[in-house]
Chain A
Amino acid sequence: MPLEFEKPILELEKRIQELKETARTTGVDLEAEIRLLEERLARLKQEIYGHLTPWQRVQLARAPGRPTTLDVLEKAFRDFLELHGDRAFADDPAIVGGLAYLEGEKVVVVGHQKGRDTKENLRRNFGMPHPEGYRKAMRLMDLADRFGYPLISFIDTPGAYPGVSAEERGQAWVIAQSIQRMGRLKVPAIAVILGEGGSGGALAIGVANRVLILENAWYSVISPESCAAILWRDAKEAPKAAEALKLTAQDLLALKVVDAIIPEPEGGAHKDPDRAIQNVKEALLRTLEELKALSPEALYQDRYRRFRALGAYAES
């Protein structure tokens, strides 16, 4: 399903296609017209994709076909061995993780997992974890520490699941514990925000030495819709909230909430997932190389200082 703001592009593409078809079947020379339209298409793309609003980026971050954690694991890593369960209550399909190789490096991977179709999305609860999901994540962090392997996390969740069962099982408690557990890692930790970075449910696996973000992903304390529902009393004002929340990659880089932006193919990662995943892989390898020089204690201190420094206030 095309995104609303992309419709002029798709319409133009369709017209070019039709014209080419006509030229082929009738033998009429339409090359000049086609070239003209193609030039116009290039300009239109530049105009739209080159000036994406925060709300348009939020839509790209949610676009079907955008690479998920498992897609990245499949294409950028080798020999992924998925591990299941929290050893206490259940296995949460909204968080996946396990052991993998990144080029020559043994790593532990954990990430939110959205479904790639409606059926899978229901099973994975749209990437909204329950407490058992975060307990599984903590297990994997333990594993990374125990064997000295880097921890790589992929963030893509609208938020931790807000439901009765999640509250009964201590959603707030496990998120706090997961933040603490990840903060205490003595191995390199890299987080990549792939799509949506929704609040504490995202941060729970985001306490990394370096936080990277895909160009059109978002990360904030609340979704634009929920923010609009509270502050504007109308969820339809989400585009305004997206603007106000400064949730885009560029804004977050300026605030030092993220350390680097990973470029996406024109029109978003879903237009060319392989290219996007390759970019993620290259960024991970670069960042890992940088962190490998640090001792376990230095890695902990580096992470501590990174988060200790965030915030804006006035001494008085």
Chain B
Amino acid sequence: MALERLFRRKRPSGENRDVPELWTKCEACGAQLYKKEFRENLYVCPKCGHHHRMSAAERVAMLADEGTFQETTRLAPLDPLGFVDTKPYAERLQAYQKETGRKDAILGGTCAIGGVPSVLLVMDYAFAGGSMGSVVGEEIARGVERAAAEERALVIVAASGGARMQEAALSLMQMAKTVMSLDLLWAKRLPYVSILTDPTTGGVTASFAALADVIFAEPGALIGFAGPRVIRQTIRQELPEGFQRAEFLLKHGMVDRVTDRRQLKGELVRALRHLHPGVPYAPGV
């Protein structure tokens, strides 16, 4: 629902035209950063710790053990409602596909994470604000089914403005579809870890993303149900400092850990090794 960010000017993480190509600027503190180092630091500003957005492919590279990822996502979106606003949905889809090289807002596949066999699904914010329509819902359900069938752990990295408006009620139904599919993991005692990144709102937070065994959030990530603009309009007041940020959610008991991206893989592996019944007792490995 909160697709409000979708129409803002797009700015790939860390890019800035005012400085020479090799350099970029932190979006939060404005520090000059050497691009190569910035990338190696996983787009975390070494000066202020601000976590910049990163692409789905970079997420996979960061979390999957090297050389183990095999993509399984393959579905393409349709335009079931023939939706037209100021532009036809079909045209918007084409533009996103061209821009991201992806069919829809999710990249997923099988891999090992710290040696633990996993299904890793990563939402791509660059594609229609990471919104969940029929393709995202179906890919998640299939990912869960694959995890259950192959005794893999499930890891989902959420980055989404919510359900996709242009598929209306069908998008809404993906919330029920994805949530119900998780029962397959419950039945087989397979772990599900959710990683909430900036931003995760609307129908994605209010469905599969909130129902993991362990929930990580990245520092400073905006996470919630309603978007801040909607809330501001409703209550006609300024929102409290830090409202709906990862640290706020930790304080209110909604997430297990707020973890710096540079430690995220390590903590994820620990969680998966604790939870996956197929991994032998091995503290501190």
- Residues on the A chain within 8 Å of B74, using CB: 315-316
Within 8 A of B (CB), among A185-225: 199-200, 203, 206-207, 219-222
Asked if A89 CB lies within 8 Å of chain B CBs, one says no
Closest CB pairs A-B (n = 9): A162-B226, A311-B134, A312-B80, A172-B205, A231-B85, A172-B225, A176-B210, A310-B173, A171-B225
10 further contact pairs, Cβ within 8 A, besides A179-B176, A230-B3: A179-B206, A180-B182, A199-B1, A222-B165, A231-B86, A252-B169, A308-B180, A310-B170, A313-B75, A313-B134
Q: Are A307 and B235 in contact (CB under 8 A)?
A: no
Shortest Cβ gap from B197 to chain A (Å): 15
Asked if A4 CB lies within 8 Å of chain B CBs, one says no
Alpha-carbon separation in the docked complex, A26 to B62 (Å): 90
Please, which residue of chain B has its CB at the minimum distance from the CB of A162? B226
Please, which residue of chain B has its CB at the minimum distance from the CB of A227? B165
* Interface residue stretch chosen among B35-43, B239-247, B257-265, B268-276: B239-247
Encoded as 1 (CB less than 8 Å from any B CB) or 0, chain A from 121 to 161 comes to 00000000000000000000000000000000000000011
Interface residues of B (CB under 8 A from A): 1, 3-4, 7, 74-78, 80-81, 83-86, 103, 133-135, 137-138, 141, 163-165, 167-177, 179-183, 201-203, 205-211, 224-226, 230-231, 234-235, 239-240, 243-244, 252-254
* Interface residue stretch chosen among A29-37, A242-250, A266-274, A284-292: A242-250
Alpha-carbon separation in the docked complex, A169 to B78 (Å): 36
Q: Are A180 and B179 in contact (CB under 8 A)?
A: yes
Encoded as 1 (CB less than 8 Å from any B CB) or 0, chain A from 10 to 26 comes to 00000000000000000
Q: Are A312 and B167 in contact (CB under 8 A)?
A: yes
Number of interface residues of A (CB under 8 A): 55
Alpha-carbon separation in the docked complex, A168 to B173 (Å): 25
- Residues on the B chain within 8 Å of A164, using CB: 231, 235, 239-240, 243
Please, which residue of chain A has its CB at the minimum distance from the CB of B210? A176
- Residues on the A chain within 8 Å of B174, using CB: 310-311
Q: Are B81 and A173 in contact (CB under 8 A)?
A: no
Q: Which of A230, A240, A314 contacts B76, CB < 8 Å?
A: A314
Alpha-carbon separation in the docked complex, A162 to B76 (Å): 32
- Residues on the A chain within 8 Å of B173, using CB: 203, 257, 307, 310-311
Q: Are B179 and A183 in contact (CB under 8 A)?
A: yes
Encoded as 1 (CB less than 8 Å from any B CB) or 0, chain A from 74 to 106 comes to 000000000000000000000000000000000
A203-B175, A307-B177 are known contacts. Are A220 and B225 too (CB-CB below 8 A)?
Answer: no
Q: Are B254 and A173 in contact (CB under 8 A)?
A: yes
Shortest Cβ gap from B172 to chain A (Å): 4
Asked if A163 CB lies within 8 Å of chain B CBs, one says yes
Please, which residue of chain A has its CB at the minimum distance from the CB of B164? A221
Q: Are B85 and A184 in contact (CB under 8 A)?
A: no
- Residues on the A chain within 8 Å of B203, using CB: 199-200, 221
Q: Are B211 and A176 in contact (CB under 8 A)?
A: yes
Shortest Cβ gap from B93 to chain A (Å): 11
Shortest Cβ gap from B114 to chain A (Å): 27
A183-B183, A200-B203, A221-B163 are known contacts. Are A314 and B78 too (CB-CB below 8 A)?
Answer: yes
Q: Are A167 and B231 in contact (CB under 8 A)?
A: yes
Encoded as 1 (CB less than 8 Å from any B CB) or 0, chain A from 296 to 316 comes to 000000011001101111111
Alpha-carbon separation in the docked complex, A124 to B73 (Å): 44
Q: Are B224 and A167 in contact (CB under 8 A)?
A: yes
- Residues on the B chain within 8 Å of A172, using CB: 201, 205-206, 209-210, 224-225, 254
Alpha-carbon separation in the docked complex, A179 to B175 (Å): 8
